[in-house]
Amino acid sequence: MNLEARLLYRDAMVLIIDKPAGIAVHAGPRDGSANLMQWLDQLRFGLPRAPELAHRLDRDTSGCLVLGRHRKALARLGELFAGSSVDKVYWAVVVGRPQADQGLIEAPLKKLERRHGWRMIVDPKGQPSATRWRVLGGDQRLTWIEARPLTGRTHQIRVHLASIGLPLAGDAVYGRGTGDLEASRLHLHARSISLPFTPKKPPITATAPVPDHMAELLRRCGWSDTEPTEN
């Protein structure tokens, strides 16, 4: 994979790349498949070490992924992500039509361990979690959603939207069954990110192009494809 071609932002401290869907950021404990760590050395740009991840995206989520180029940068990025100072915007296509045009989902999330794997569930004993959302478009069956996670829990957007009857298209884990998924791949994209990295300076910002696998359903929902897709 040519990660340099997927570079959205670069300075002396921070890189932001457009992560492709279907690639894990880390190797799993029993997973020998390809992961993003294998290609990060391409992004050293003269530094002695490869950049490191400042946060994570799910394997099947595409879009803006932030990397720190050295320890000082990673420490600052860690503060920003831990303090909920990062503005993250996701685009999702969901199955169903909400009654309102926008809302705030506040539902604690907990990891449920199972014999053959795990999943996240809404549980009063879970970690506090909040997602703000609004409708950007849709048709009779699908809705194009902008989601802004106010916390950073695993699978948060997927579980929260499913909990209000709006499972993501292509989500075989939290969807309502294969007949309702509308797509074979998850339709969740980290569209943009804004980092107030240096006080008294404008934030670092980046926007990731729509991935090819989401373009068709987004068009059905009213998205204009005058901008290029990822190709």
Q: Which residues are catalytic?
A: 58
Token pair in block for residue 208: 């990731």
Nearest Cα to Cα of residue 191 among 207, 169, 168? 207
The per-residue b/e assignment along 68-94, b for 16 or more CB within 10 angstroms, e otherwise, is: bbeeebbebbeebbeeeebebbbbbbb
Residue 21 contacts residue 62 (beta carbons within 8 Å): yes
Q: What is the CA radius of gyration of the chain?
A: 18
